[in-house]
Chains A and B, each alone.
Chain A
Amino acid sequence: MTRIRSAHLPPLRDAAAIVGIGQTPFSKSLGLSEYEMAVDAIWAACEDAGLSPREIDGLVRYDMEQIDEEQVLAALGNPLLRWFCGTPFGGGGAASVVVLAAAAIAAGMAETVLVYRSRARGKNSGYGKDPKQGGRYWEKMPESLPGLNQWHVPQGLVSAFQEMAMISMRHRIEYGTTDDQYADVAIAFRGHAMRNPAAVMRTPMTRADHHASRMISDPLRLFDCNIETDGAVAMVVTSTARARDLRQPPAIVHAGAMAAGSHHIRLSNLLGRSRDDDSAARVARQLWESSDLSPADVDAAFFYDFFTSMVIIALEDYGFCRRGEGGPFVQDGGLAWPDGRLVCNSNGGQLSEAFIHGFNNTTEAVRQIRGTSTAQVEGCEIALVAGANTDPTGAFLLRRA
């Protein structure tokens, strides 16, 4: 790490590490409850780290998580939880959970923090009336809308994928992003998934397959969208000092940042704001400034790939290319492994591995740092993990010890 030059290191710098990762199988239908899946994944993460669940003393709950602190404690032999918090804004919190865990550890509020996400979102798993209880949240819209969704749902804009379609269309209007460039993202990630035995979507995808997939909300086709799956992922974060004595090589949280800007559900606000002044671009600036690193130092990047178009925009937000050049960046195998411009979502991401709200991308970032990915970057030193780039969001950098 010869490039590090700050005289006063941020307190978060290298204070914590991801030391355990665990997951259930990923599937379109597992037939398990979110509670069962959460506990399976948490147990696996503790086992991976070589820690007892009773050693957990902190917890970060993801925004939409239905398995709350009390339920987790009850299933883990009631560890003494002394610090807990949550993230708002859906996918924007995907990376923030680790930033918050590292912050708690750096501040001495906890030593071993659990982050987890359990989702029964396969089409046949919608088992509760609450929008957050599985299935499609937007199908369970209240009949009377007092919140900001009253400004677009009655117009027929009912779901995130339609909001993203509007944001993606604007990117095409300004920069001429193409269907082929969307296909380049989908095909690259499918290629990763084909090498990854845990991935749900492992059949080959061609450009023609992508273009032939059903248009669901112009300009987004079915193969531009994340898949919907059942599954859970958990991670254990602990102090870097303690990490040295544990079973796995630590993935050290080198830097982390969060920034609040507009949210895709408040579309009129989001479209009125410059992207360079919005959440993701702000997080990126904070991250690079606090890390003394730049995109050129990143060996593997993990973006919140809810839609192909959003990966293209994220590459711009995080400075891997200039604004408007995300399309050309991914073109002609730009994200392919091993010969592309950047190894990105090497598990197949949420487009092809599973949609566990980005948590499955984070565990893959850890595998890259450990050297155990199925699309391994040789000598991977630095991995970037970013939350959704249309929400108040967060991001962090992992590094090898």
Chain B
Amino acid sequence: MADRTATITRAFPRPQPTRDNAAFWEAARRGELRFQCCTPCGVFRHYPRPTCPACLSREFTWELSSGRGAVYTWTIVRGPTLPAFQDRLPYNVVDVLLDEGVHFVSQVLDVEPEELRAGLRVRAVFVPLDDEITLVKFRLDD
């Protein structure tokens, strides 16, 4: 039997852009939060997909989001977690309901666990991971 500890992923688990979502990651690298937006009906969507869930149209553009929204739900991760996140414990993870109507899982930076609550207004900020990938995080909105 293999040693359990030998099978644990040590590296930072990195998003790998695909044909379906490369436009999102390219925008994030430029400091823009963009989502697919249906051309005929104007509904935003996330995760990326070929059709509009509201009207089934396949016509869309990658539209700029305001980056503003409200915390919909949240958790404080206290461990266990992956080694890549171990030194950050405890840390928050939030679901932000953006003003465009899409849910987005992220973190709120520079906030104490006790400050988190549903409805907290936040705005997107951009944290580069490497040359290709920039993660979208949030800060309290002024």
Say yes or no: A140 contacts B13, CB within 8 Å.
no
Asked if B124 CB lies within 8 Å of chain A CBs, one says: no
B20-54: contact bitstring with A at CB < 8 Å (1 yes, 0 no)? 01000000000000000000000000110000000
Asked if A154 CB lies within 8 Å of chain B CBs, one says: yes
How far is A166 from B93 in the complex, measured between Cα atoms in Å? 8
Say yes or no: B75 contacts A162, CB within 8 Å.
yes
List the one stretch of A141-149, A203-211, A319-327 in contact with chain B: A141-149
Quick one: which of A118-164 are within 8 Å of B by CB?
123-129, 135-136, 138-146, 148-159, 162
Residues of A within 8 A of B1 (CB): 125, 127
How far is A217 from B91 in the complex, measured between Cα atoms in Å? 10
How many residue-residue contacts, CB under 8 A, span A and B? 146
Say yes or no: A139 contacts B72, CB within 8 Å.
no
Contacts known (A153-B13, A155-B105); A266 close to B72, Cβ less than 8 A: no
A127-B2, A272-B103 are known contacts; what are 16 more A-B pairs with Cβ within 8 Å?
A126-B4, A139-B7, A142-B9, A143-B11, A144-B13, A150-B16, A155-B105, A155-B137, A156-B93, A159-B81, A166-B75, A169-B75, A173-B118, A267-B103, A268-B47, A269-B47
How far is A159 from B9 in the complex, measured between Cα atoms in Å? 13
B79-102: contact bitstring with A at CB < 8 Å (1 yes, 0 no)? 111100100100101010100001
Quick one: which of A190-243 are within 8 Å of B by CB?
214-219
Select one of A128, A165, A217, A272 contacting B2, CB under 8 A. Answer: A128
Asked if B64 CB lies within 8 Å of chain A CBs, one says: no
How far is A271 from B95 in the complex, measured between Cα atoms in Å? 8
How far is A173 from B91 in the complex, measured between Cα atoms in Å? 20
Say yes or no: B91 contacts A156, CB within 8 Å.
yes
A265-278: contact bitstring with B at CB < 8 Å (1 yes, 0 no)? 01111011000000
Residues of B within 8 A of A216 (CB): 78-80
How far is A219 from B113 in the complex, measured between Cα atoms in Å? 12
**A residues in contact (CB < 8 Å) with B:** 123-129, 135-136, 138-146, 148-159, 162, 165-167, 169-170, 173, 214-219, 266-269, 271-272
**B residues in contact (CB < 8 Å) with A:** 1-2, 4, 7-9, 11-16, 18, 21, 46-47, 72-82, 85, 88, 91, 93, 95, 97, 102-107, 113, 118, 129, 133, 135, 137
Residues of B within 8 A of A138 (CB): 82
How far is A170 from B116 in the complex, measured between Cα atoms in Å? 13
Contacts known (A139-B82, A218-B75); A154 close to B13, Cβ less than 8 A: yes
Q: What 3 A-B pairs are tightest by C-beta distance, nearest first?
A: A150-B15, A126-B4, A170-B73
Q: What is the minimal beta-carbon distance from B18 to any residue of chain A, in angstroms?
A: 6
User: Can you list 27 pairs linking A and B with CB atoms under 8 Å apart?
Assistant: A123-B4, A126-B2, A139-B8, A142-B13, A143-B11, A143-B13, A144-B13, A144-B14, A145-B14, A145-B16, A151-B46, A152-B105, A154-B13, A156-B88, A158-B13, A158-B81, A158-B82, A159-B80, A166-B75, A173-B118, A214-B78, A216-B79, A217-B78, A218-B76, A219-B75, A268-B103, A269-B47
Q: What is the minimal beta-carbon distance from B47 to any residue of chain A, in angstroms?
A: 6
Contacts known (A158-B81, A216-B79); A141 close to B13, Cβ less than 8 A: yes
Say yes or no: B105 contacts A267, CB within 8 Å.
yes
Contacts known (A140-B8, A141-B9); A165 close to B103, Cβ less than 8 A: no
Say yes or no: A167 contacts B14, CB within 8 Å.
no
Say yes or no: B4 contacts A135, CB within 8 Å.
yes
Q: What is the minimal beta-carbon distance from B93 to any residue of chain A, in angstroms?
A: 4
Q: What is the minimal beta-carbon distance from B2 to any residue of chain A, in angstroms?
A: 5
Select one of A140, A154, A218, A268 contacting B15, CB under 8 A. Answer: A154
Contacts known (A145-B14, A155-B135); A268 close to B93, Cβ less than 8 A: no
How far is A218 from B76 in the complex, measured between Cα atoms in Å? 5
Say yes or no: B13 contacts A157, CB within 8 Å.
no
Select one of A136, A139, A153, A166 contacting B95, CB under 8 A. Answer: A166
How far is A128 from B4 in the complex, measured between Cα atoms in Å? 8
Which residue from chain B places its CB closest to the CB of A131 in the assembled complex?
A: B7
Residues of B within 8 A of A152 (CB): 93, 105
How far is A215 from B80 in the complex, measured between Cα atoms in Å? 10
Residues of B within 8 A of A126 (CB): 2, 4, 7
How far is A235 from B76 in the complex, measured between Cα atoms in Å? 39
Say yes or no: B73 contacts A166, CB within 8 Å.
yes
Select one of B2, B74, B104 contacting A129, CB under 8 A. Answer: B2
Residues of B within 8 A of A159 (CB): 80-81
Which residue from chain A places its CB closest to the CB of B73 in the assembled complex?
A: A170
How far is A140 from B133 in the complex, measured between Cα atoms in Å? 22
Say yes or no: B9 contacts A217, CB within 8 Å.
no
Residues of B within 8 A of A165 (CB): 75, 77
How far is A152 from B1 in the complex, measured between Cα atoms in Å? 31
Contacts known (A151-B105, A215-B78, A271-B95); A170 close to B72, Cβ less than 8 A: yes
Say yes or no: B106 contacts A155, CB within 8 Å.
yes
